[in-house]
Structure 1
Amino acid sequence: MNKKTDLRIVRTKQSIRKAFYELIQEKGYEAITIQDIADRAMINRNTFYLHYQNKPDLLDICMNELLSELKDAVVLCPISMNPFSISMLETVMQAVLEHISLNITFYHSMLIEENRIYQFQAKMETIVKDKLIEGWNPAQGNSTLAISKELLLEYLGSSFMGIVIWWIKNNKPLPADEVSYQFSRIVAYGHLRAAGIAVEDEKK
């Protein structure tokens, strides 16, 4: 009996979340009401309140669970003594894109267009930055950079998220491994060299 009850609870929560994600895409988080969610999930309002306190509680739980899963996926990426290495960037990007593929509706509702949830994007970017500096150890070399380390991390985090959003918005136009490969080389070699475009010496 308990197993049957638990299964019903799981299905109800899945229905609520699916409705929530769809409605965010359609009308934006602020415009959604509890009644909208209940109607879409085909439940009554009382059933909603059995599982969630209110709309912000639902949003927080959804974000925290997905971000926790994303962090677990990223943590499994091998640590590099050089956090800015090509292999590190490629591995982290592929792990993130593969995780997104399994939860594409959620990520689309959180990150795309005018309905995006900005705190989700910021938390996601923090996870990426934390992974990139995980293997940072000045004693192992790379202690002196020609530019600010903080500026470099900000650039990497912003460009990383830009690629992720582009990939989701355009319905995954390239395989995850190909995007990861190309992104790591754009960062490592610059966009012109990575694209095979000859770079002229401006001093000539």
Structure 2
Amino acid sequence: MSKVDRRIAKSQKAIKKAVIELMSEKSFDAITIQDIADRANVNRGTIYLHYTDKYDLLDKMIEEHMNNLKELCQSAAELTFEEGNYVWYEYFESNSVFFTTMLDSKGAPLFRSRFLELVIEETKVDVDVTAGKNSGFHEDVILQFFGTAIVGAVEWWFKNGMPLPARVMAEQTGALLDRNLD
């Protein structure tokens, strides 16, 4: 993998930060490339050098976080739900501005659906409908139920200003998942 020029990385970081800041102030549809350029202190051409348009920029930002969460899942594969959740909640906490804005913004409904898809995909490996409490249930119903519960808990956490520490959220959501997936 080639090393990214520091100037490019610095510009991209400023552009992404500008988008998040602007989305916390107004709807995504109302944001222009010029708004982003002004806030990031870069030329419009710099944005177009890296992104087709503002939708491409937002899509790449979302994709970057989804990929990071997938990598966290892979690296935490041998952990309990609680510990695996803690890894996620730590990531959420360290990227709270992004997640708060994405889950709160009317301009990014795509984020929530992609987040739900990721949660369902990652939960699927732990769902067994052939034995235990979930025997006989349709797998898709179980996955939608747990996926929506997880996304809902994360949304609640952010919308309420993260009232509980990441460790507590991980412990409680992990315990709820553990006892319902046995």
Per the normalisation by structure 1, the TM-score is 0.76
- How many Å separate the matches in 2 of 1:142 and 1:184? 18
1:170 is aligned to 2:160: yes
2:108 counterpart of 1:109: no
Counterpart of 1:105 in structure 2: which amino acid? Answer: V
Larger of the two Rg values belongs to structure: 1
Cα contact 1:93–1:160 (8 A) shared by 2: no
Structure 1 residues 4-153: aligned runs within 5 Å: 6-78=5-77, 87-88=80-81, 90-112=82-104, 114-115=105-106, 117-136=108-127, 141-142=131-132, 145-153=135-143
Q: Is the 8 A contact 1:20 1:37 kept in 2?
A: yes
C-alpha distance in structure 2 between counterparts of 1:142 and 1:189, whole Å: 11
- Residues in 2 aligned to 1:145 and 1:157: alpha-carbon distance in whole angstroms: 18
**Structure 2: tracts of 5 or more residues without a match:** none
Shift in alpha-carbon separation, 1:14–1:188, aligned structure 2, 3 A:
closer
Higher RCO, 1 vs 2 (CA within 8 Å, ≥6 residues apart): 2
Q: Assess, with a 3 A threshold, how the Cα gap between structure 1 residues 7 and 174 changes in structure 2: closer, same or farther.
A: same
**% same residue:** 33
Distance in 2, matches of 1:168 and 1:53, equals 30
How many residue pairs align between the two structures? 178
SS at match of 2:47: helix
Instruction: Report which of the two has the higher share of helix.
Output: 2
The CA deviation at 1:21 is: 0.6
Query: C-alpha separation between the residues in 2 aligned to 1:7 and 1:72?
Result: 24
Which residue type is aligned with residue 31 of structure 1?
A: A
Deviation at 1:151, TM superposition (A): 1.5
TM-score (normalizing by structure 2): 0.84
Q: Which runs of 5+ in 1 are unaligned?
A: 81-86, 191-204
- Tell me the secondary structure at the aligned position of residue 26 of structure 1: coil
Contact 1:73-1:96 within 8 A present in 2 as well:
yes
Taking a change above 3 Å as real, the CA distance of residues 135 and 162 of structure 1, as seen in their structure-2 partners, is closer
Whole-angstrom CA distance in 1 between matches of 2:46 and 2:178: 52
Root-mean-square deviation over aligned CA pairs: 2.6
* Preserved CA contact (<8 Å) 1:125 1:157: yes
Q: Which moved more, 1:9-18 or 1:128-137?
A: 128-137
2:120 and 2:143 in contact (8 A); partners too: yes
